[in-house]
Amino acid sequence: MQSCAVEKIWEGPALLGESPLWDFRDNCLYWLDIENARLYRKSADGKTTHSLALPAPAGSIALCDDGGLIAALGQGLSLIDMDSGIVSPLAPSLASTECLMNDGKADRYGNFFFGTKHLKETSPLGRCWRYTRGQILQQDGAFVVFNGPAFSPAGERIYFADSPSRRIMTARYDEEYGINSKPEVFAQLSESDGYPDGMTIDSEGCLWNAQWDGWAITRYQPDGTIERKLELPVQRPTSVCFGGKDLKTLYITSASTRLTPEEISHNPDAGALFKLDLDIAGIPETSVNYKD
């Protein structure tokens, strides 16, 4: 494992920091604290941070083509205008009440792909959907905790995880159907690696994955081999995204939830937001077309 010069850019602490999202339109960073039901935005220069209280926990966000955000929130989908503070339900009742919206991301075609987690994290009651221009299509699969997803540069492959299995999966993906092949194992984590959480793809087609309880992020080559593993100062990194003017800054969210006082003493930055400067660029996020 390699050490890396991460910089803490927000103290927090978030209980469950998630879904970092670089807005290339306004040069700002968004992220969530799921368990505190808050949305955050930090300016490109890092000098100002704003937050918005949400009506329910949101698991993930994506850019909308009208300038706002789409959010997997509560048991469904909502639109968020952070400047006005208006949260508008779009499809509020998709998931079972035993589940909560979790990770999601825009695919390369302008659709929002998102999934849920079982609240007790014990049963495969979670599902995943694709929101495509006013239609919501459920995808195959059952999950305890759906995490990811990420998409290859051309959009023809999807990567995702059912985190308790410690497996990152991959499948073929297309604009019309979404997942269109049987998922196969892309990477199997060991107990010492922790659990696969949020992920993103860089411009070279490599997958970056945050490892919950693993104190690390790992970069996988397209064939699933590990290219590098970077040690972090937090036990529970939760997700990653590329941002900055050249998309060569990796932003990393983390969690402090359910850590014991002893674990916190060894992990004082738990729940903070970090950045890491790299020589590899990411890919600009696609905006979601949410209209019919």
Give the angle subtended at the CA of 118 by the CAs of 52 and 198, to the nearest 5°: 60
Pairwise CA distance, residues 105 & 276, whole Å: 21
Instruction: Give residues with Cβ within 8 angstroms of 285, minimum separation 6.
Output: 21, 22, 23, 24, 62, 63, 105, 106, 241
CA distances from 260 to 37, 172, 254 (A): 22, 40, 16
Contact at 8 Å (CB) between 159 and 208? no
| Among candidate residues 255, 239, 246, 249, the one with its CA nearest the CA of residue 61 | 239
Pairwise CA distance, residues 108 & 238, whole Å: 22
Give the angle subtended at the CA of 74 by the CAs of 71 and 80, to the nearest 5°: 30
Q: Measure the CA dihedral 58/82/104/267, to 10°.
A: -60
Helix, strand, coil percent content, the chain, rounded in steps of 5: 5, 55, 45
* Residue of 33, 193, 197, 269 marked catalytic: 197
Active-site residue, 197 included: yes
Phi, psi (deg, nearest 5) at residue 265: -65, -30
Cis peptide before 20 (omega within 30 of 0): no
Contact at 8 Å (CB) between 197 and 208? no
Active site residues: 197
